[in-house]
Structure 1
């Protein structure tokens, strides 16, 4: 377990108080808590952060009790120190097992040393920040969160006034949002002239990370205001807006450099710098860096289904002494704070742009180049449409006052939602998605993102085809439309902006190819026309976490069942995403007797990798089977397939044959596309998949059960695993696969002439390849836990036990011999000795006719992959069960029957096939055989 000192460092006392259910009094962040020990009218429990007297801890003044996080748990819940430590481990997901080696310890980076030095002098930053209008409360929060410091380093090589000399600077420590590692330190120099005129400088990573004063407050915030710099973020914190946090991009280049998925579920307000257009003669004349970056940020957020609005900066003009307004605008949030104060800044931040297209003004307030070009007939109507975050209005007319001449707009309700964007999306073809080949047949759709009151700040996205854009019935699915005619005019104007946010996409959940590059594609990254039908994971975001969790998960699965019986399905499931590199992936059967732990294991597997097991009840039709395996390489499961009707089993097996690699099919009047691709886990006591033996692997759980998986086992870091796979080279992967396959062939018990066995070896080699890459990803030795040995043993056992089940001729003869024993076979046959071997003589054409035209065998006939007597006969000869090279003729009762195929009964016995010999048909032959 973690030490008490480690827990003190990792546990935030305010958050712990929330988890313990302590009631907080009024007064915001500085409020006290009510005592958990007795009823009190006023709160009496204080929590301190770096207090001069009490340090970091808590104290209940009414009971004169206090201490650390351990003491607070005991005070609120009771119990011992051990109980409190266990509670903290479970509540915060801290692993119980401590590493035996100092592997997790690492040397501090240069950036971390700089951050520590800056934090030691952080009190010196206060004077500079208060001079910029920043409140003491905002400074205190950043200081307590260790995101604000002060740096007075100067270079001995550069003289004052030269670039790189340094000098006093406010330091903003940039941390990852989770787990809070230092990645950079941004310096803002108090006197830029001493540093050669350079105002800011960064140590560490500039791209990919933003800055916020307090991560804990950021996580709880419902609204996030995005600005350019840390000074601007602190300016917003100065306003103390409830439920609001500020996030600094640290430069406009980070609009494309940061993964903004952490903003999902929050309302985003964009307020970048209000830059003036570059003057004529400048290479970028007419461009405005701040607003144009805001447009790009808006498009990125909208593509992630994150609601974003822009602050209306048209009235950000500085006041002159006489009350008139100057032409010079206020440039950024901090300038506004210094000129107008925090209350006015708060009001300004709540004034959002009302225009239909974000960043595209409909009046004369526009500066520089427009975001899009609107023809005059569209621009003449554009100004009438006014939006709020989740509502749209329409100015029907302007009422003119006859006396004053003032025109007043008459606004009517248009629709109960806001169209955030309408973008053209080019979706890659299935072949390009699966192989990485150049796309010759992309499909163009239109992605519509809408904000409606019922979903809060999460955008609703639907994909429309070209002929659906002006169908109000399609739009009415988002919400009410009160004025259809103006609404259609609005959609017509929005068509002009279809290029805004236009993008290439791949309709695939997992590891896929897009524009020739491997990408990690999640459910929200796809553009399905009927998402809930086309992909079982259409809304899946892959679990993410520290890479160190991968080793812990694999080790736990190796322990829970002996001989790696549980690890094999986990490795198979994680390796399914290699299909984009290998071109195939086997299915899997999990067989176990009652009470062997199959259901328990599958449920834990679902939790570990966000895997879905479909019940047999949900797989009653071919369409439901099809929709469960479409557009993904993330595995799915089918429970108790053997309990379904035979026609359902046949259809299921047919689909599994097709999605061993991938197959495209289209269904419905709209010809909706389905890419059958997902690997399938088949679970049950008896999985009826004889015709699939060459396309699956297996694991058996019976008699191998060990200790249960721990309850605190983390999820596998699937997102990081897929990103690791996306960095692999396809040629290297194929070379690795060939090498592993050769090693598997060397240990295989089957002969090289057994084609079915060779395919099975290839399937197990693919799982071995997945294990090899998992070990590289998790930092494990490939031989750890004996996985390669147990996989090879399972492979050889599977090959040996199914040698007689892999060929269709075996299934056909098994059926016909059973019909002969039951007296249902009406075609002529007999028994005789041919070339010294006792044989059954029959016509292969009669065999196929009997199965095809017997009603009771109709389902078996439909499920047979071989329906021609010619192929059936060729397989008999290839298997070596036919005696001689020629067909024979015999008298059966009163008829001469030619073209009979003699099949040795002794050879059939080697395949587990037997038949009862009729004495009336074989008396002479039986007598001769007895004498022999």
Structure 2
């Protein structure tokens, strides 16, 4: 088929509207069209071509629909994207293109063949489902979405009536969320007796996958009802409830297996089967499988900050004409539909449990094992608290009125929110999070998940310390509390439920160790006591996508700047998550002249991997610097650090020294913990990091600009990349790193005695390691684009250009020689020949005293890593710039000055150090 973009270019929307049968109002070619779905007195659908504000497209002003030519076909005909594209090809005579890709197509699996066969016979399922109360509309939608079919397979090796014989069945085709491949086919037998009275059978995967009749409807829905079986999901679709979709978990075992993150932002209704307690004498006697699966779902959804409510099934009973028991429970949604009809079912799905703790009735309707044990003094008050979806009331009193035998409750407003859960959370220590060692000092917090009107279906979560739990000041941050005493009583009851949903967590965004295993931790997975200050990514969810996007992104970054100048920061940023296995990660400097494209590249990098570049204005204090690099291995950026005050620069460099590996610090009266570990990108024309050279890599953009990055470049699939890294073996990663480090050292221009250069080679080896794993992840050859070759060239250039800058003695002498030239150095010094070399003679102690006690040099003194003249002198000797093995003595201005150190001016020139020689001092 032609691409979507090509269809948009070739098709005129006015012609399309005419072929779709849309009626145009009066006013000529620019007149509006009448809406296709409801009678409108005045035309309400407009088409605009080349509009200065809206571009080219259409919009139905009677609703929210709008978009391109494909959206218009879908809007009018109610079809899928694929069907709309086929219609456009046929209606406008556009030929079906041969796919450009020569890659072999995926081989069909056994489940694909079962699904294809079932879909061909799909109409035969209608009679059975209609008999189960399912409407034709719901059946049609499922067949159209290719999720429902009919299968009449029978086994040739089994006899009719034996388990495994099969027979005619409704086939429910299961696909993953957002995917098209078939992972399973569930069969519900029309006559279970043919299959040994076994009602269902699954071909394919069961764990981790659910079923929905129409994936597009599920995506658009604002409310989702979770049920056990697929026929129950179809029963809910038969009710045709606005903005509501149904999702089957395909058995109670899947309650703990499915990833429900696709439900974030939606209101969820839990309606599992209304099972009776298991009879005494049987395993798990007293348990109710359906409701207990609902409890599991509630805990998992609440942990994801998804609002969930449980349907009140206390009234789900059917009248029996005969028998000792005059009533029996209605077991599931489909039974309810058959007995009471679609309108009654729709109403029942709107009736939620009124209890404070989900799944724990406060009256005589409780059956089987209770979810929580409440002592009598708590249970006596429990029934009074009646939450709704986002509000909580309190029964002030209950009395009989007008000679009625029924007590009528009198309600009072308690608080303007609903406490969905109060759970105990054990947060791993920083050492355990970063190293994977056994945790010896976890922190225990309490997480309150609350639903408020202002946040809709998304729960708000706050983490409280033990002594904050009964401080209403913290609860008032959620909303108003009108009855403080009663509210405190409610919280004391909720304390009994702290074990429900109790979990172990790690306060870290990125790849971290949790319970001894590598795991991908996102912002919502963390439990910070002061999230906005503790982590810059406290609410980040990593970009997700197809692995094929990774190759496209990497290739584009290799091309946009020559010599992989833009690919290096991309690889560095993604490789930062290897810190959990390597134990360190270097920082990076991105240097470029004005107009070289640095700002443009950084903005695109921010969009590609969702990292944050902090402006210089937000880095004016040490605390702001600290909060920008805490609790994450996802990189951050500092813009134009050189433009800040020297005091800020010194503090910034000190923090960067610490988070090359990781450091824990605590601040404030409450001793809030900060784990400093984020790799930092330093961008600017002149990045002041002389004392940090052994802990960073660099890339230079000047003179290397190529084509701009494409506007339609997808985001890098960071989530999938981290999941790939989490599956690696730490020992294998370290072995790979050692091999690459040796390779970098072999190709390094540095001598083996240059410790600073050896560390720099190790930093570049870490980036090379990230490149190797990225190529494996993206399906690339690691030789593509000569990345490793260009990385080695950058490394050797970096080592050569910074050979002098890496030594603190050079910075000290540079300062003092400048002071001598300026006439500000008041201590005795002279120039003379020593052992055949012209030298400057001075005392190292005088040098350090001058810098320490000169007001204008105070900032430089504070930033020096060396402050002892003994260490300074030792570094001079190791550098080979001192002449002679002993100190010398000279007469300077009529005074004998002993213990002078002779420093060769010729040898200093090799380090870029020079001084003006005064004739009167020779």
Give TM-score scaled by structure 1 length: 0.91
Q: How does 1:372-451 map to 2 (within 5 A)?
A: 372-401=372-401, 403-451=403-451
C-alpha displacement of 1:403? 2.8
Q: Deviations over 1:815-855 (max 9, x none)?
A: 00000100000111111111111111111111111111100
Q: Does the 8 Å contact 2:664/2:675 carry over to 1?
A: yes
Q: Does the 8 Å contact 1:147/1:213 carry over to 2?
A: yes
C-alpha displacement of 1:369? 1.0
Q: Deviations over 1:687-740 (max 9, x none)?
A: 010000000000000010000000000000000000000000110000000001
Q: Which residue of 2 aligns with 1:728?
A: 728
Q: Which residue of 1 aligns with 2:103?
A: 102
Equivalent-residue separation in structure 2 for 1:658 and 1:228 (angstroms): 52
In structure 2, relative to structure 1, the CA distance for the partners of 1:60 and 1:442 (3 Å cut) is: closer
Q: How does 1:51-450 map to 2 (within 5 A)?
A: 69=85, 100-103=101-104, 105-321=105-321, 326-401=326-401, 403-450=403-450
Equivalent-residue separation in structure 2 for 1:557 and 1:37 (angstroms): 36
Q: Which residue of 1 aligns with 2:498?
A: 498
Q: Which residue of 2 aligns with 1:681?
A: 681
In structure 2, relative to structure 1, the CA distance for the partners of 1:214 and 1:23 (3 Å cut) is: farther
Equivalent-residue separation in structure 2 for 1:732 and 1:389 (angstroms): 50
C-alpha displacement of 1:572? 0.2
Q: Deviations over 1:490-537 (max 9, x none)?
A: 000000110000000000000000010000000000000010000000
In structure 2, relative to structure 1, the CA distance for the partners of 1:2 and 1:866 (3 Å cut) is: farther
C-alpha displacement of 1:179? 3.0
Q: Secondary structure at the match of 2:183?
A: strand
Q: Which residue of 1 aligns with 2:483?
A: 483
Equivalent-residue separation in structure 1 for 2:789 and 2:756 (angstroms): 22
C-alpha displacement of 1:156? 1.4
Q: How does 1:886-925 map to 2 (within 5 A)?
A: 886-922=886-922
C-alpha displacement of 1:199? 1.3
Q: Which residue of 1 aligns with 2:654?
A: 654
Q: Which residue of 2 aligns with 1:739?
A: 739
Q: Secondary structure at the match of 1:769?
A: helix
Q: Which residue of 2 aligns with 1:754?
A: 754
Equivalent-residue separation in structure 2 for 1:190 and 1:219 (angstroms): 30
Q: Does the 8 Å contact 1:317/1:325 carry over to 2?
A: no
Q: Secondary structure at the match of 1:182?
A: coil
Q: Which residue of 1 aligns with 2:691?
A: 691
Q: Secondary structure at the match of 1:193?
A: helix
Q: Deviations over 1:538-589 (max 9, x none)?
A: 0000000000100010011111110000000000000000000000000000
Q: Secondary structure at the match of 2:326?
A: strand
Q: Deviations over 1:400-437 (max 9, x none)?
A: 33633432111100000000000000000000000000
RMSD: 3.0
Equivalent-residue separation in structure 2 for 1:549 and 1:58 (angstroms): 27
C-alpha displacement of 1:42? 14
C-alpha displacement of 1:175? 1.3
C-alpha displacement of 1:181? 2.2
C-alpha displacement of 1:905? 0.8
Q: Which residue of 2 aligns with 1:826?
A: 826
Q: Secondary structure at the match of 2:744?
A: helix
In structure 2, relative to structure 1, the CA distance for the partners of 1:443 and 1:23 (3 Å cut) is: farther
Q: Does the 8 Å contact 2:518/2:726 carry over to 1?
A: yes
Q: Which residue of 1 aligns with 2:664?
A: 664
Equivalent-residue separation in structure 2 for 1:801 and 1:878 (angstroms): 20
Structure 1 unmatched runs, 5+: 48-55, 62-66, 86-95, 923-932
Equivalent-residue separation in structure 2 for 1:710 and 1:643 (angstroms): 32
Q: Which residue of 2 aligns with 1:589?
A: 589
Q: Which residue of 2 aligns with 1:454?
A: 454
Q: Does the 8 Å contact 1:58/1:72 carry over to 2?
A: no
Q: Does the 8 Å contact 2:642/2:686 carry over to 1?
A: yes
Q: Deviations over 1:620-670 (max 9, x none)?
A: 111111000000000000001111111111111000000000000011111
In structure 2, relative to structure 1, the CA distance for the partners of 1:737 and 1:106 (3 Å cut) is: same
Q: Does the 8 Å contact 1:524/1:538 carry over to 2?
A: yes
Equivalent-residue separation in structure 1 for 2:436 and 2:726 (angstroms): 12
C-alpha displacement of 1:898? 1.0
In structure 2, relative to structure 1, the CA distance for the partners of 1:35 and 1:643 (3 Å cut) is: closer
Q: Does the 8 Å contact 1:319/1:325 carry over to 2?
A: no
In structure 2, relative to structure 1, the CA distance for the partners of 1:439 and 1:479 (3 Å cut) is: same
Q: Does the 8 Å contact 2:756/2:806 carry over to 1?
A: yes
Q: Does the 8 Å contact 1:222/1:266 carry over to 2?
A: yes
Instruction: Name the count of aligned residue pairs.
Output: 882
Equivalent-residue separation in structure 2 for 1:568 and 1:546 (angstroms): 22
In structure 2, relative to structure 1, the CA distance for the partners of 1:496 and 1:858 (3 Å cut) is: same
Q: Which residue of 1 aligns with 2:558?
A: 558
Q: Does the 8 Å contact 1:235/1:337 carry over to 2?
A: yes
Q: Does the 8 Å contact 2:418/2:451 carry over to 1?
A: yes
Equivalent-residue separation in structure 1 for 2:61 and 2:613 (angstroms): 52
Q: Secondary structure at the match of 1:253?
A: helix
Q: Secondary structure at the match of 2:901?
A: strand
Q: Does the 8 Å contact 2:839/2:902 carry over to 1?
A: yes
Q: Does the 8 Å contact 1:35/1:60 carry over to 2?
A: no
Equivalent-residue separation in structure 2 for 1:205 and 1:143 (angstroms): 21
Q: Deviations over 1:457-480 (max 9, x none)?
A: 000000000111111111000001
Equivalent-residue separation in structure 2 for 1:638 and 1:323 (angstroms): 78
Equivalent-residue separation in structure 2 for 1:669 and 1:97 (angstroms): 68
Equivalent-residue separation in structure 1 for 2:448 and 2:153 (angstroms): 52
In structure 2, relative to structure 1, the CA distance for the partners of 1:141 and 1:5 (3 Å cut) is: farther
In structure 2, relative to structure 1, the CA distance for the partners of 1:862 and 1:610 (3 Å cut) is: same
Equivalent-residue separation in structure 2 for 1:667 and 1:23 (angstroms): 64
Q: Does the 8 Å contact 2:36/2:76 carry over to 1?
A: no
C-alpha displacement of 1:58? 8.2
In structure 2, relative to structure 1, the CA distance for the partners of 1:592 and 1:896 (3 Å cut) is: same
Q: Does the 8 Å contact 2:320/2:327 carry over to 1?
A: no
Q: Which residue of 2 aligns with 1:927?
A: none
Equivalent-residue separation in structure 2 for 1:552 and 1:421 (angstroms): 43
Q: Secondary structure at the match of 2:158?
A: coil
Equivalent-residue separation in structure 1 for 2:332 and 2:179 (angstroms): 31
In structure 2, relative to structure 1, the CA distance for the partners of 1:701 and 1:241 (3 Å cut) is: same
C-alpha displacement of 1:399? 2.3
Equivalent-residue separation in structure 2 for 1:7 and 1:265 (angstroms): 33
Q: Which residue of 1 aligns with 2:55?
A: none
In structure 2, relative to structure 1, the CA distance for the partners of 1:606 and 1:99 (3 Å cut) is: farther
Q: Which residue of 2 aligns with 1:804?
A: 804
Q: Secondary structure at the match of 2:594?
A: coil
Q: Which residue of 1 aligns with 2:600?
A: 600
Equivalent-residue separation in structure 1 for 2:488 and 2:623 (angstroms): 36
Q: Secondary structure at the match of 1:397?
A: strand
C-alpha displacement of 1:256? 1.1
Q: Which residue of 1 aligns with 2:527?
A: 527
Equivalent-residue separation in structure 2 for 1:603 and 1:35 (angstroms): 36
In structure 2, relative to structure 1, the CA distance for the partners of 1:550 and 1:37 (3 Å cut) is: closer
Q: Secondary structure at the match of 2:858?
A: helix
Equivalent-residue separation in structure 2 for 1:522 and 1:180 (angstroms): 27
C-alpha displacement of 1:97? 13
Give TM-score scaled by structure 2 length: 0.92
C-alpha displacement of 1:131? 0.8
Q: How does 1:38-53 map to 2 (within 5 A)?
A: none
C-alpha displacement of 1:889? 1.1
Q: Secondary structure at the match of 2:712?
A: coil
Equivalent-residue separation in structure 2 for 1:326 and 1:660 (angstroms): 73
Q: Deviations over 1:855-897 (max 9, x none)?
A: 0000001111111111111111111111122111111111111
Q: Does the 8 Å contact 1:70/1:81 carry over to 2?
A: no
Farther off after superposition, 456-465 or 392-401: 392-401
Q: Secondary structure at the match of 1:744?
A: helix
Q: Deviations over 1:577-625 (max 9, x none)?
A: 0000000000000000111110110010001000110011111111111
1:621 corresponds to 2:592: no
Q: Secondary structure at the match of 2:252?
A: coil
